[in-house]
A = this chain, B = another copy of it.
Amino acid sequence: MTQEFINKFKAEQRNRGRLLINCPDQPGIIAAVSKFLFDHGANIMESSQYTTNPEGGNFFIRIEFECPELEFKKDELKAHFEEIAETFRMEWKLAPVSEVKRTAIFVSKELHCLHELLWEWQSGDLMTDIAVVISNHEEARPIVEALDIPFHYIPASKENRAEAEAEQLRLMEEYRIDVIVLARYMQILTSDFVAAHPYKIINIHHSFLPAFIGARPYDRAYQRGVKLIGATSHYVTDDLDEGPIIEQDIMRVDHRDQVEDLKKIGRSIERSVLARALKWHLEDRVLVHGNKTIVF
């Protein structure tokens, strides 16, 4: 069923490409890029741009284009684009939309976020290959394997962290992973692991950051008597809960809600926030600028 959705998507999108650019702002960038696409027979279908400030700022653009025979022309396009990229000192990426990203999900014992992602994926609403699920517990194995997704149990503790991460890194390579989702994984990753996947690891934190950074946010929200609780999805960097925020949302609570109620309500927010953040990442809508994101 899911593979059907993916195949249908790939067929429909076979001529659709995406071009992402980040460079110092200067006049003429759009003129050059759009002339390039036009000269190569590509028609711009969607384009979002942002310049951080009028003078000496950074320029960001995300373009979706239709280009007949894209699969045969993509290498040529990339090769020819090099010249423009150098002229404007661009960081850039040009890729067919049909090259669906490969996702690894890391999970612990709390399965609600995993479950949401699997369900969205089965419904065809999350366009990715879920290539592997990794957990330090066995709870997730049945629902993962029932969907024919490889499941790897890797115990994680302070003692075996180096060993566990080595195994995880090996699996990321084996499964050719493009994006890692920490779906309530609850384990801290080392700097080395994070550095190996810059802005490729998406976490869900169960609070409205920067409120309640760190452990037990629902307990602390309860103690503080807040009237709204939230969740935050962000890229993982070396600083705990300090990476660029992709998406946040909240729900209303009141004095009758005990910690357990906050957790229940929170689960629902975590699920939708993480699913939205991942969806945007998969569609290349999220560009990182310093410690912030631009979401096109």
Contact = CB atoms under 8 A, between A and B. Distances in A.
Interface of A: 25-31, 34-35, 37-38, 41-51, 54, 66, 112, 115, 119, 123, 125, 146, 208-212, 224-228, 230, 244-250, 254-256, 264, 267-268, 272, 289, 291-295
SS class, residues of chain A in contact with chain B: mixed
Given A112-B123, A227-B246, A228-B230, 7 more contacts: A30-B44, A35-B35, A48-B49, A125-B267, A208-B228, A224-B291, A225-B245
Given A245-B225, A293-B225, A31 B27 contact: no
A37 B32 CA distance: 12
Contacts of A44: 29-30, 49, 51
B28 A38 contact: yes
A211 B224 CA distance: 12
**Number of copies of this protein chain within its complex:** 4
Contacts of A244: 225
Contacts of A28: 38
24 contacts: A27-B41, A28-B38, A30-B30, A30-B38, A31-B35, A46-B50, A115-B119, A119-B119, A123-B267, A125-B267, A146-B146, A208-B211, A209-B226, A210-B211, A210-B224, A225-B244, A225-B245, A225-B293, A226-B245, A227-B248, A228-B230, A228-B250, A254-B295, A255-B293
